[in-house]
Copies of this chain bind each other. A is one copy, B any other.
Amino acid sequence: MDDHVSGKGLKRAELARRTGCNLETIRYYEKITMMPEPPRTAAGYRVYDERHVARLRFILRGRELGFSIDDLRGLLGLVDGGRQTCAGIKAMTERHLADIRAKIADLQRIEAVLDSTAAQCSGEQVPECPVLEALAAR
């Protein structure tokens, strides 16, 4: 073991497990500079610590909330720079919130169409299916 101090020095798989991130995605985030290059063991194995865990969780959570990689780069830039203009973050969040709401509205419209057309389906083998007609209609 390169480290035997309790809890310190995670390998890639361990970081993946602790964050729920896909193994390869960690390497990908490093490549696109979303994650810093971690120190390595003599053999070249990546060694992560708690700050890496926190940062990766931040990224994953942001992605879960629908922020793009670029949005998160902005957010992380603020964190890294230390000068967090809360107003800026708020504005960004609110833009994003508007996006989310638009998406919800879209999906609800789709839901209504699908729901009403599926309800009309007899299940029989008929030449015209209401779902197909709903798709064809304009």
By a beta-carbon cutoff of 8 Å, the part of chain A in contact with chain B is 54, 57-58, 61-62, 64-66, 75, 78-79, 83-87, 89-90, 93-94, 96-97, 100-101, 103-104, 107-108, 110-111, 113-115, 117-118, 121-129, 131-132, 135-138
Q: Is the CB of B118 within 8 A of A111?
A: no
Please name all residues of chain B whose beta carbon is closer than 8 Å to the beta carbon of A114 when the two chains form the complex.
65, 93, 96-97, 100
Contact of A113 among B65, B86, B115 (CB under 8 A): B65
Q: Is the CB of A58 within 8 A of B135?
A: yes
Q: Is the CB of A61 within 8 A of B136?
A: yes
- Please, how many angstroms separate the alpha-carbon atoms of A107 and B121 in the complex? 29
Please name all residues of chain B whose beta carbon is closer than 8 Å to the beta carbon of A138 when the two chains form the complex.
57, 61
Q: Is the CB of A86 within 8 A of B123?
A: yes
- Please, how many angstroms separate the alpha-carbon atoms of A39 and B87 in the complex? 58
Contact of A86 among B86, B107, B124 (CB under 8 A): B124
Q: Is the CB of A122 within 8 A of B61?
A: no
- Please, how many angstroms separate the alpha-carbon atoms of A28 and B71 in the complex? 30
Q: Is the CB of A118 within 8 A of B90?
A: yes
Given contacts A65-B113, A75-B135, A90-B123, contact A97 B118 (CB under 8 A): yes
